[in-house]
Amino acid sequence: MTQREVVALLFGGRSSEHSISCATAAGVLAAIDRDRYDVIPIGITRDGAFVLERDDPSAFALNPDHLPEVTDNGSRVRWPESATSRELTVTDAGGQTRSLGDVDVVFPILHGPYGEDGTVQGMLELVDLPYVGSGVLGSALGMDKHYTKTVLMQHGLAVAPWVTVTKRSWRDDPASVRAAVSEIGYPVFVKPARAGSSVGVSAAADDAALDAALETAFAEDDKALIEATLTGREIEVGVLGGRPGEPARASLPGEIVVSGRGFYDFAAKYLDAPGIDLVCPAPMDAAQLAEVREQAVRAFDAIGAEGLSRVDFFLTDDGFVVNEVNTMPGFTPISMFPKCWEASGVDYPALIDELIQLALAKREP
């Protein structure tokens, strides 16, 4: 019998997307192939402590009345002290330390700052632990919407007009910000530069609404983007990295159909709020299908992404416009990324397996 590979599943974290990370972990814990993998569930509390969690998907199920959370149970997981070891240890609440054994790969299902932005990836690089997803640079670029747009433009991909505003510049010179926004034209969308899951995102139709929208965005980040509102269909494409020497692959595109909500917000994404339908595959002609998949792979490659990403577009009268590149997209079983790959012939357990194998293949000599 082949020995099972050991996966350290890392979730929770210090960002405002903590609960979504926990819900994603529940999906992975329930679906991962237990004949092939042993799982060590490691939660990160909102204060940043690494704790050993129960291997129980139901403990982190997404409930609108009680969002899942990593609580501090007193245990502390310790990472290897150098690149010469892959052994994890845990000290329990009573002070007793034991080995958790060697880890083959880390699966960091972390959304937002302190996890999706290259910080955890850097920690894992320091001790030479293989991990799922993009490296330090790709993660950092994908997390910061300003730099994502800048890089995509340099690679010839269309992006929405935008203004980047810091909390300080808004405080010190709001008139200049308003002047820049007037060149874009209302209505606009205001987003934290380094957050996801639509947290802190709101629309603004005039100067008064802009004040409130920036206040909401600055509660999540000290840098915000003010983007032109685009009219068009919302299209999303899942991308999987290639094995060494092979190109990345794009899924069939999905479409977010909004009917009765202002936009695809947090409640619609994760709490099954009405007014949104996810359609995959999205109806489009062969030329559009080929173009959006090609652009998704170009965007993935442009920021140096690895493993997985979801590339979001608007399909306007002038063609496709890239909205964002998410290097650790929503990964619950009902999220768009798994849905698009399921429509493309890769079901949820197989998708988990492919991501783990991509991470391991990246480290093969």
Question: What residues are labeled active site?
Answer: 17, 197, 270, 310, 312, 324, 326, 330
Place of tokens 């890239």: 322
- 329-259-268 Cα angle (round to 5): 35
Query: CA-CA distance, 29 to 76, in Å (whole number)?
Result: 21
Q: Residue 87: what are its φ and ψ, rounded to 5°?
A: -85, 130
Query: CA-CA distance, 276 to 269, in Å (whole number)?
Result: 8
Segment 259-265 long-range contacts (CB within 8 Å, at least 24 positions apart): 262/203, 263/189, 263/198, 263/201, 263/203, 264/198, 264/234, 265/198, 265/201
Place of tokens 């999303």: 236
Torsion angle of C-alpha atoms 108, 113, 116, 121, degrees rounded to 10: -70
Question: Left (φ > 0), alpha (ψ -120 to 50) or beta: where does 244 sit?
Answer: beta
Query: CA-CA distance, 117 to 127, in Å (whole number)?
Result: 18
Q: Which SS3 state, helix, strand or coil, does residue 79 take?
A: coil
Place of tokens 């995102």: 201
For the stretch 101-131, what's the b/e string if a residue is b when 16 or more beta carbons lie within 10 angstroms of its beta carbon? eebbbbbbbbbbbebbbbbbbeebeeeebbb
